[in-house]
Structure 1
Amino acid sequence: MSDTQLSARALESKLGEWRTGGSAYRGLADRIRLLALDGRLTAGTRLPAERELGVRLGLSRTTVTAAYRELRAAGLLSSVRGSGSVVRLPGSGAGSGAAAGPGSGSASGDTGVLDLSKATMSALGGLADVAARAAEDLSRHLNGPGFDPVGIPELRAAIAERYRVRGLPTDPDQIMVTIGAQHAISLLARVLVSRGDRVLIEQPSYPHAVEALSAAGARLVPVSVTARGGNGSSGWDEPALLQALRGSNPVLGYLMPDFHNPTGQTMPAEQRTRVIEAAARQGTVLIADETMGELSIDRPDDFMPFAAYTQGEPGNAGMNGQGRGSGAGVRATVVTVGSVGKTIWGGLRIGWIRAEPALIRRLVVALTALDMGTPILEQLIVTRMLPEMPAILERRSRELRAGRDHLEALLSARFPKWTVPHVDGGLTAWVNLGRPVSSQLALAARNHGLLVPAGPRFGVDGAFERFLRVPFCHGVFEMERAVDALGLAWGTLLRHPLPDTGYLADVV
């Protein structure tokens, strides 16, 4: 549990545009509730005092007191005299209940709550049998310490071979095994970012990557990525991206070039080369998050891993101790993050980092401050499954095609005024609602048993109130139930019209 003290200024920044024209106390309570349920306010966070928040927001203390009272009644706040007001989540104590938000519940669990906050598929069929066979391999590791900070040799070799097959020659000593992709991103942020460093990031982006980079002290430089539809433009704003590299001189850039989360976009091959070359000129290290990189449904072109688009292998020539370029001729440094969480199963906590051996050594040194290594049995399971990846991906492609087509048809029929961009891979649709009501819709959907993250969850600065991320990787029943819940929630909003303020409408 967190024990963070949140200042009034920090809470105001998180609230964004919360005034809807109704009761001020209810609008404030609803937005704080959404922040808590979405995970943007973690359990244990201490909210600012009522008087302090009132002054900051231009409200009377009575209004803030009424908002806090409503949150306490909903089980989202606990207040103790002398200790202030602390965020809690519905369930037992201050822990998170099944309906608490992202990271809790399941798509079709016993709680009756449908959780679409996670874009991940159920376990691959036959996984339990593979796990049983992998357990037979465990005996040869039992005489050792049981953990290895860099990963067992056979898994590192299997990952390297997978990259080679995909067009990127890789040696096992360029691989470090991690406890999932998020662990890899957090470790890279810890090693490569110092407080105050600028870091280029896509807008929208994967929320937990934003959190990891911010926790490392990064000053984020957002560059927009747009979904297909609307004005016809889509993808990365290349002029802005190149200008951000030149003008901001970021130490690091975090990109999702394949089936970007949440928009589903893929960066064209020629653009990859231009971006990598621009980063090389600035000495910017690029992290390519490829956790969804192989989840093609019907993408017309084959793409190699992002790092394969460098002019020669990334190296350390001209690199100083902080990973910065020292002049012309510096070759691009591209670090790749991957995992099996999206392809095989999210419960199989195996990810990896592909980087030059010198950086791998730095990461291993830093790792010991966080943990001592990745579980061996899970590594053995993945070692057995990686050679079968082509067949696994073919099966996943069929499942995702059916899910995507079904969701597109459901949304088109139920919400003809929404814009549902067609994607050719990945797990999610970035739906344009046509009105800046994503947070209100997500909140209303919870009253109908659906957890779905609001658009601002994916923005660096509270943007994307016109968008909703809807995954299509769940079963037919779950998607139909989700659309029904969205329909009920949308009907609630239509019965109580909200003013179209144009809030951040021009961001994307």
Structure 2
Amino acid sequence: MSTSLAAPASTLPPVHRRLSAPALGALITGWQTEGPAYVALADAVRGAVLSGTVAPHTRLPSERDLAGALGVSRTTTAAAYAALRERGFVTSRTGVGTVAVLPRPTRRAQPRWCGGDAPVPVGVEPPDDLVDLGQAAPAAPPQLHAAYGRALEALPDYLSGRGYEPLGLQPLREAIAHRLTERGTPTTPDQVLVTTGAQHAISTIAQSVLGPRDRVVVQSPTYAHGIEAMVGRGARVVGFPVGAGLPGDGPGFDVALFESTVRAATPRLAYLIPDFHNPTGYSLTPDERAEVRRIALRHRVTVIGDETLSDIALDGPAPEPITGDGSATSHLLTVGSASKTFWGGLRVGWVRAHPDVVAHLARTRAASDIATSVLEQLAVTELLARREEVLAERLPLLRSQRDLLRSAVTTAVPSWRVASPAGGLSLWIDLGRPLAHALTAAAAVRGVVINPGPSLTPDGGASSRVRLTFAPDAEAIGRAVPRLAAAWEHVAG
């Protein structure tokens, strides 16, 4: 195979962090499979890089140190590193060591697979029909095109202005406030800040609240990019476990544990997903929501309630809002988005908070993003007016895809334990063995992208769990599951 995708020594990227041999070994627990040991080790490290568990520009341990930590020969680690260099996942230089990188595509690169433009492993020809069960992003609804048409008709009314509305367009803020009021939390437009997606909203709050080494409490597992937003501010992330309703999981949300974690960690911020939690699907009960509000006020900790998935109620009605009657606004902020209800390509999200907090967040966002696109805001305004129509088509389709994926997976691999979430977009699967990274790598080789559990936790735990999203259509699910079963047979014997 050509090695044209590997970074030459002269372009070796800067080293942002170092990873010891024991630490790398802990991240790829369960990497051993049948077949050559160096191939299995290379697959596990590649899977860790693809999933983000090992970040690009991380200096990896030496061949000798890694061999000692894993209890294998240096020949094995040297061959694994050589395979990774050939495939473009590491690059080396004397005096610097071996550094993890993401492959750089060339004009001769093959179609995207493994979650990126990765070169094909030796002796393996991945399918060109990649199935992404890792990104929970439904396709656009049929109403989107017409919504853009109406947005274009309304656009001339805004062309005489500057095009910058740091708080968001007034019609959209009114529509969001109306929707939140309908859900049960009285809201006015001055309590709404429009952002460029939910991730931007979370990052803006983190930038506003956190300083280096401040602590943040999160559910574990949780939304991976939520963790990244906190770590990006230099914060220390403290997780507490959340269950998915499977035997042995423990409670979905342990209020006493949450409060004791807050008391012990004294965090500046807590990040929660109260509705159809990503990835477990658990929703807080009304009593648990009331307790979160009490804890936020009692301990004076700012709590982010991520309501991005609130509309994706597949069994029964959507839960009541975590904000209740809105009286805890000073310490409880919520984040919403058009991405799951409508389409991720809209890049429109929002924050609900006290008006003073909204004004402060608007000043904070100016450093990185002055305002959200006017046309997209107008389109979302139109879609919110037709929200019930969109969901009437979207929810039955997602429900059928959830049931199809769960049935197909449990039939193909009966040993896996799979809960049936009442909402959201993902299945949280217990493999029964700590092979999440190995399975992720083996699935990627076969053209299926999944999320290993450790990439969704702040401490690299959940090594026996993976997340599969049922956002792809039935045809894609039908192609993915046999490949996933073959990948499991390969790693688990």
The TM tier, using the shorter chain, reads 0.7 to 0.9
In structure 2, the partner of 1:31 is 44
CA contact (8 A) 1:178 1:184 kept: yes
Aligned with 2:239: secondary structure? strand
Letter in 1 for 2:227: V
Letter in 2 for 1:305: P
In structure 2, the partner of 1:324 is none
Q: Distance in 1 between matches of 2:67 and 2:435?
A: 27
Identity of aligned residues (%): 35
Letter in 2 for 1:200: V
Aligned with 2:270: secondary structure? strand
In structure 1, the partner of 2:322 is 306
Q: 1:3 deviation in Å? A: 4.1
Q: How does 1:427-506 map to 2 (within 5 A)?
A: 427-495=425-493
In structure 2, the partner of 1:145 is 162
Q: Which runs of 5+ in 1 are unaligned?
A: 105-109, 316-332, 496-508
Q: 1:214 deviation in Å? A: 1.1
Q: Distance in 1 between matches of 2:320 and 2:253?
A: 18
Letter in 2 for 1:68: Y
Q: 1:426 deviation in Å? A: 0.8
Q: Which runs of 5+ in 2 are unaligned?
A: 1-11, 119-126
1:354 is aligned to 2:368: no
In structure 2, the partner of 1:99 is 113
In structure 2, the partner of 1:7 is 18
Inter-CA distance 389–53: structure 2 relative to 1 (3 Å threshold): farther
In structure 1, the partner of 2:122 is none
Q: Distance in 1 between matches of 2:15 and 2:390?
A: 43
Q: How does 1:116-265 map to 2 (within 5 A)?
A: 116-231=133-248, 233-265=250-282
1:87 is aligned to 2:105: no
Q: 1:65 deviation in Å? A: 3.8
Inter-CA distance 249–83: structure 2 relative to 1 (3 Å threshold): closer
Q: 1:391 deviation in Å? A: 2.1
Q: How does 1:419-434 map to 2 (within 5 A)?
A: 419-434=417-432
In structure 2, the partner of 1:273 is 290
Q: Distance in 1 between matches of 2:65 and 2:167?
A: 47
Aligned with 1:306: secondary structure? coil
CA contact (8 A) 1:72 1:78 kept: yes
CA contact (8 A) 2:27 2:53 kept: no
Q: Distance in 1 between matches of 2:22 and 2:200?
A: 27
Q: 1:8 deviation in Å? A: 3.1
Aligned with 2:167: secondary structure? coil
Letter in 1 for 2:19: A
Aligned with 2:259: secondary structure? helix
Q: Deviation digits for residues 29-50 of structure 1, max 9, x if unmatched? A: 333211221133444x152463
Q: 1:167 deviation in Å? A: 1.1
Aligned with 2:17: secondary structure? coil
In structure 1, the partner of 2:123 is none
CA contact (8 A) 2:62 2:98 kept: no
Aligned with 2:172: secondary structure? helix
Q: 1:369 deviation in Å? A: 1.4
Q: How does 1:394-405 map to 2 (within 5 A)?
A: 394-405=392-403
Letter in 1 for 2:428: W
The alignment yields a C-alpha RMSD, in angstroms, of 2.8
Q: Distance in 1 between matches of 2:399 and 2:320?
A: 22
Inter-CA distance 2–364: structure 2 relative to 1 (3 Å threshold): farther
In structure 1, the partner of 2:384 is 386
Q: Deviation digits for residues 447-486 of structure 1, max 9, x if unmatched? A: 2111111111111111112111111222111111111111
Q: 1:355 deviation in Å? A: 0.7
CA contact (8 A) 2:312 2:318 kept: no
In structure 2, the partner of 1:319 is none
Q: Distance in 2 between matches of 1:41 and 1:144?
A: 46
In structure 2, the partner of 1:47 is 59
CA contact (8 A) 1:46 1:84 kept: no
Bigger RCO of structures 1 and 2 (CA < 8 A, at least 6 apart):
2
Q: 1:156 deviation in Å? A: 0.8
1:72 is aligned to 2:85: yes
**Mean alpha-carbon deviation: is it higher for 290-299 or for 75-84?**
75-84
Q: Distance in 2 between matches of 1:371 and 1:42?
A: 25
Q: Deviation digits for residues 381-411 of structure 1, max 9, x if unmatched? A: 0011112112222222111111112122212
Letter in 2 for 1:70: A
**Mean alpha-carbon deviation: is it higher for 152-161 or for 29-38?**
29-38
Letter in 1 for 2:350: W
